[in-house]
Amino acid sequence: MTLRVLVAGALIAVLAGCALSIPDAPIETPEPAESATDFVARVNAELSELAEESGSAAWVQSTYINKDSARLAARAQERNAAFLSRAVAESTQYDLAAIDPVSARALRQLKLGTAQPAPDNDAARRELAEITTRMEGLYGAGRYCPAEGECRTLGDLVAVMATSRDYEEQLDAWLGWRTVAPPMRDDYARFVELTNAGAQELGYGNLAEMWQSGYDMPAADFDAESARLWGQVEPLYEALHCYVRRELSETYGEDRGPLYGPIPAHLLGNLGPQGWANITYLVAPYPDVESPDVTTALQAQDYTAVQMVELGEDFFVSLGMPELPESFWALSQLTQPRDRDVVCHASAWPLEGGNDPRIKMCIEQTGEMLSTIYHELGHIYYFLAYKDQPTLFQDGANDGFHEGIGDTITLSLTPEFLAGLGLVDEIGEGDEALINTQMQMALDKIAFLPFGKLIDEWRWRVFTGDITPDNYNAAWWDLRTRYQGVAAPVARSERDFDPGAKYHIPANTPYTRYFLAHILQFQFQRALCDAAGFEGPLHACSIYGSEAAGDKLWAMLELGSSQPWQDALEAATGTREMDASALVEYFNPLLGWLETQNEGQACGW
């Protein structure tokens, strides 16, 4: 407090006829012990060191699931959470408006650096680490053990859903996998309490607000932004849903596949179902016209997991990007071990700050797996591009960018490109072949869109308290029906916890990133095709071999999260707004065909 303030206070007291008292000494805000720049540099260094330990512990826990690896992973996660809590608390001594922009952005990234903020309390941190490790372990080691017969793994049940067309067998597999989730329900409710408390300590109302604040815009604006993007693509999804529902009704009969209303969830070829590619042959527009069948080619040519990954590496190298490091081949998990439980869900890992990138997968000889490899390599090349950024900027411009890069590359796997690799026969020309190909893609990419949006919408409402543990499951199915037009095939209750049957719920991986990625990949592809000088319809473009397109892509990737995503998007596409018009443009041929097929049908649900 200045002398002028003290004198003014004394004068006011005298004029008011009050006895003057000398105020207590003012509480001084101490000057930070180090500059914001030095603080950020120290945090980057310490985070890098901690990430090496926690990353290795998490890798072992995912690839050697047992009591010991779970304990080690939980303790490493606990130490990481303790550091983040302490660093975030220390960061509050800096006025972000008064420090340099780079340090200010780094401190914002620090605050948003975890999807599951722990309360600043040793016991709560430990409890949260144990809960998250336990939930992911329940998922990874999950088995369906019927009253009669052998226990079946997730992989076994996925195979049933992909290949069987027996209504009761599909229903048994669909219900069976959901038996792994109810034990997570109480843990998940406690997880919500703990992470909400952690988010509140960071200055957010709840974890939903914190997640939504990670998009360089106010949380409420981002909620509206995701709704706007869904509005752009909803008509295309509804047209696809209408056509597929009619085809399923013809296959299973109206008593099991109704002509109107939601589609029973177990008839779509996927445990989610988030994608419908496995029912392609049931709904193919022109079944007598050859369509790409990469799975058959991979199996006939007996591709190994390594050879499949090498195909993906070759594409990125053709764009002028580096070969994968030797450590990638030595240390990645590409196939499912026979001697232990592992988490087979595909993921990419930036160990040692991206200098030791790895993939964790259980690769099989399928076209879907090949696409997943390209997706995961998109993450790997993002890691390699920004590995020289400070630790706090080693991330995507937003999480949709990270998920969208590999999927952008898959758009270049055109029938002509795959034929050149010998993975499909030469595809005939003409509208029928094109519609078949677009249908196959739409059953993956368009069918996914509402699922990609609703997962986090459910969680956001859980975190805000609009959905309580008393109606976890009912609210889940309300959203599934509202967005997907999909319903549970049998009655579900609050004894069930169907959200937990989706990996990203027990693993607490935000899911809006996948929705955004499905929008951004087409926006990226249109810009890269322009850079490559391609002339023709967007669906026919492959950027393979274009270093001009690769340079444009790499320039965006190497920024990491050092700039707002709007800047990164503008650098790559020339616009600062996410836009689904490229997606609609890509599928225009199919949309026109669907509208003709659906004439006279009662679409919607």
Mean pLDDT by 10 residues, the chain (605 residues): 33 30 44 89 94 92 91 88 87 91 94 88 92 92 90 92 93 95 97 96 94 92 94 97 96 89 95 91 90 88 97 97 97 92 91 94 92 95 97 94 92 92 76 92 96 97 97 98 96 97 94 95 97 96 97 95 95 93 97 96 93
What's the domain range around 42?
Answer: 36-111
**Letter for the amino acid at 94?**
Y
Whether residue 64 is found in the same domain as residue 176: no
Q: How many domains does the chain have?
A: 3
Is residue 589 assigned to a domain? no
Instruction: Output phi, psi for 336, to 5 deg.
Output: -80, 120
Q: What is the pLDDT of residue 120?
A: 86
**SS3 string of 528-565?**
HHHHCCCCCCHHHCCCCCCHHHHHHHHHHHCCCCCCCH
Is residue 603 assigned to a domain? no
Whether residue 310 is found in the same domain as residue 395: yes
Instruction: Output phi, psi for 347, to 5 deg.
Output: -155, 155
Asked whether 385 and 558 are in contact (CB, 8 A), the reply is yes
Catalytic residue ranges: 345-346, 375-376, 379, 403, 504, 514
Asked whether 389 and 562 are in contact (CB, 8 A), the reply is yes
Question: What is the C-alpha separation between 460 and 466, in angstroms, rounded?
Answer: 9
Asked whether 594 and 547 are in contact (CB, 8 A), the reply is no
Closest Cα partner for 80 from 205, 198, 237, 239?
A: 198
CA distances from 161 to 69, 267, 441, 473, 499 (A): 31, 8, 19, 22, 18
Helix (H, G, I), strand (E, B) or coil at 143: strand
Is residue 271 assigned to a domain? yes
Whether residue 272 is found in the same domain as residue 349: no
Asked whether 557 and 528 are in contact (CB, 8 A), the reply is no
Burial of residue 432 (CB within 10 Å: 0-12, 13-18, 19+) is middle
Asked whether 477 and 492 are in contact (CB, 8 A), the reply is yes
**Letter for the amino acid at 66?**
N
Q: Over the Cα atoms of the chain, what is R_g?
A: 26
Is residue 46 assigned to a domain? yes
Whether residue 477 is found in the same domain as residue 381: no
**From the CB of residue 20, how many other CB atoms can be counted at a distance below 10 Å?**
12
Instruction: Output phi, psi for 191, to 5 deg.
Output: -55, -45
Reported residue count of the chain is: 605
Q: Which two tokens stand for residue 372?
A: 């997943």
Burial of residue 337 (CB within 10 Å: 0-12, 13-18, 19+) is exposed
Q: Tokens 């990234």 map to which residue?
A: 109
**From the CB of residue 465, how many other CB atoms can be counted at a distance below 10 Å?**
11
Domain end position, chosen among 94, 111, 128 = 111
Whether residue 564 is found in the same domain as residue 482: no
Whether residue 416 is found in the same domain as residue 347: yes
Q: Tokens 């599951």 map to which residue?
A: 116
Instruction: Output phi, psi for 298, to 5 deg.
Output: -60, -40
CA distances from 269 to 279, 480, 555 (A): 6, 16, 39
Whether residue 531 is found in the same domain as residue 488: no
Instruction: Output phi, psi for 358, to 5 deg.
Output: -140, 155
Q: What is the pLDDT of residue 89?
A: 85
Q: What angle do CA 109, 355, 311 make, to 5 degrees?
A: 110
Whether residue 213 is found in the same domain as residue 250: yes
DSSP state of 481: I
Question: What is the C-alpha separation between 485 and 350, in angstroms, rounded?
Answer: 37
Q: What is the pLDDT of residue 346?
A: 92
Whole-prediction pTM value? 0.85
Whether residue 249 is found in the same domain as residue 309: no
Is residue 169 assigned to a domain? yes
Asked whether 574 and 406 are in contact (CB, 8 A), the reply is no
Whether residue 421 is found in the same domain as residue 559: yes
Is residue 510 assigned to a domain? no
Prior bond to 273 cis, omega within 30? yes
**From the CB of residue 141, how many other CB atoms can be counted at a distance below 10 Å?**
15
Is residue 5 assigned to a domain? no
List CB contacts of 579: < 8 A, sequence separation 6 or more: 232, 519, 523
Instruction: Please provide the DSSP assignment of 345-393 as one string.
Output: S-EEEEEGGGTEEEEE----SSHHHHHHHHHHHHHHHHHHHHTTS-GGG
Whether residue 528 is found in the same domain as residue 398: yes
Question: What is the C-alpha separation between 417 and 65, in angstroms, rounded?
Answer: 39
Is residue 119 assigned to a domain? no
Helix (H, G, I), strand (E, B) or coil at 342: coil
Q: What is the pLDDT of residue 174?
A: 96
Helix (H, G, I), strand (E, B) or coil at 463: helix
Whether residue 408 is found in the same domain as residue 552: yes
Question: What is the C-alpha separation between 347 and 507, in angstroms, rounded?
Answer: 12
Asked whether 514 and 402 are in contact (CB, 8 A), the reply is no
